[in-house]
Amino acid sequence: MTADLQKGRMRLQACFLGLLALFVTGKCSYSPEPDQQLALPPGWVSLGRVDSEEELSLTFALRQQNVERLSELVQAVSDPGSPRYGKYLTLEDVAELVRPSPLTFRTVQKWLLAAGAQNCHSVTTRDFLTCWLSVRQAELLLSGAEFHRYVGGPGEIHVIRSPHPYQLPKALAPHVDFVGGLHRFPPTSSLRQRPEPQVSGTVGLHLGVTPSVIRQRYNLTAQDVGSGTTNNSQACAQFLEQYFHDSDLAEFMRLFGGNFAHQASVARVVGQQGRGRAGIEASLDVEYLMSAGANISTWVYSSPGRHESQEPFLQWLLVLSNESALPHVHTVSYGDDEDSLSSAYIQRVNTEFMKAAARGLTLLFASGDSGAGCWSVSGRHQFRPSFPASSPYVTTVGGTSFQNPFRVTNEIVDYISGGGFSNVFPQPSYQEEAVAQFLSSSPHVPPSSYFNASGRAYPDVAALSDGYWVVSNSVPIPWVSGTSASTPVFGGLLSLINEHRILSGRPPLGFLNPRLYKQRGAGLFDVTHGCHESCLNEEVQGQGFCSGPGWDPVTGWGTPNFPALLKTLINP
């Protein structure tokens, strides 16, 4: 009798899902933009359809409320001229503001539960729902989706994705922004190991960038370390098969941390830290965040994609929406071509950055390692901006090299330093004056058809990105380069400034850009020589934008001069 009941239930559920699919594929349905273009990225291969009873994890982004009001509050708490400066919102305040309407939450939840979704979890802000479904249930629920297993990337990673767009009932259009875990393939790291420069003679020379070289160039003394007496903390995020090893960090500090107080272990790992080989990217992030922001408690957010259907960057955003006590500074070396992402996805992720800014978090993203980038649109070349670097609610870090690669000298542009103008986000008011000054005064502005001069311009700042030593899998590796290196360095120095602010009874820096542009880059070394790479054609001949006095879309306002930057940012 029990077996007959079970079979009956299964037949009823199959019947319901069949009717649901018929409804979805009829006239009463709509197709959300896929969260990424559906073309299979280079280096990925399909292993075929996934078994229909295999379990998937999908994340539903629910429509938020009061996003305009959130934007106004971010401006108020981030502008030193505002009476609300530094009066950040709590996670509960943010949740009260943006959480979806009760109608939205009930509508989506009922739709999912009726379709057999199991184990659905929300976050504090109630604007994401993550659910487990079988492949059969997911393909009926998201008509048009067809789940395949793929393998690719440097680590031969396995992911489950759909190569086809999906449809939702039209009644859900006001309630769901997108469904995550269907289309986005993990971007590959652009971190590279460059050949060692050749030079004759070695007197007075250094043999690559180490913590002592960074501290010398940016004028840090042995006293410029965390006090160990505050609740100050900093964090970096690692994604998809990128892990650090405690033993590598300890060896790195033994080799390179002898002349300043430091912590030799990570205070907290949030998420699942895998047991695989260490990744150079993750090793670099942790080692240089903890040596620049020396002796400050450091967290690592590990989002390896615990299941093949999970999208690690989205998982990290969900964690930020669910934790009330977070580190003040977060550095992330991650990016995608802006044009590869749907408008719905990119706008929603941008709102997640607004939520972080309202709470007083400083988010720093690498500007990318492809210079201005390049792609062809209707047969014409254009520069290719990167996201999240192009978000107006993060601080984006570009890259520099030493003028003499073996001496601690002035810095010039690292030709790979990402930079340019967003094709999605309009130019925020905080940077209009600086960008106008650059466009009107630079003698090397590329043809206007290559970029959107009215878009959000980036980077905002820069630091050394060329020739780093990293310890990974117990091996010291020289000449590692990329803005993945400059980003944790700048983040660590901001953590030191936060330490002074907290000890003085002031709030942490929070979203830095309005203040940074208002102070016109005070406390930074202006980088005025060099250009980054771009399209290899006759018109621009591989040259993108060039640096110059003041702000530019290659190195932003410049690189940190720590004592001057501390003086500039310590008050109010």
Show which residues are catalytic. Answer: 281, 285, 484
Closest CA to 134 of 60, 57, 59: 57
Closest CA to 326 of 284, 355, 346: 355
Q: Is 527 annotated as a binding residue?
A: yes
- C-alpha to C-alpha distance for 270 and 509, rounded to whole angstroms: 23
Q: Is 526 annotated as a binding residue?
A: yes
Between the alpha carbon of residue 240 and those of residues 310, 311, 345, 366, the distances in Å are: 10, 9, 19, 17
Give the sheet arrangement for strand 128-134, strand by strand: 118-122, 128-134, 55-62, 176-180
Contact of 178 with 72, CB cutoff 8 Å: no
Closest CA to 466 of 455, 478, 452: 478
At residue 133, φ and ψ (nearest 5 deg) are -140, 155
Using N-to-C axis directions, what is the helix angle for 343-358 and 67-78, rounded to 10°? 40
Tokens of 361: 């978090």
- C-alpha to C-alpha distance for 95 and 86, rounded to whole angstroms: 19
Tokens of 395: 């601080």
DSSP symbol at 142: S
- C-alpha to C-alpha distance for 307 and 304, rounded to whole angstroms: 8
Contact of 341 with 308, CB cutoff 8 Å: no
Contact of 517 with 401, CB cutoff 8 Å: no
- C-alpha to C-alpha distance for 313 and 391, rounded to whole angstroms: 15
- C-alpha to C-alpha distance for 504 and 514, rounded to whole angstroms: 22
Q: Is 552 annotated as a binding residue?
A: yes
* Annotated binding-site positions for Ca(2+): 526-527, 550, 552
* Annotated binding-site positions: 526-527, 550, 552
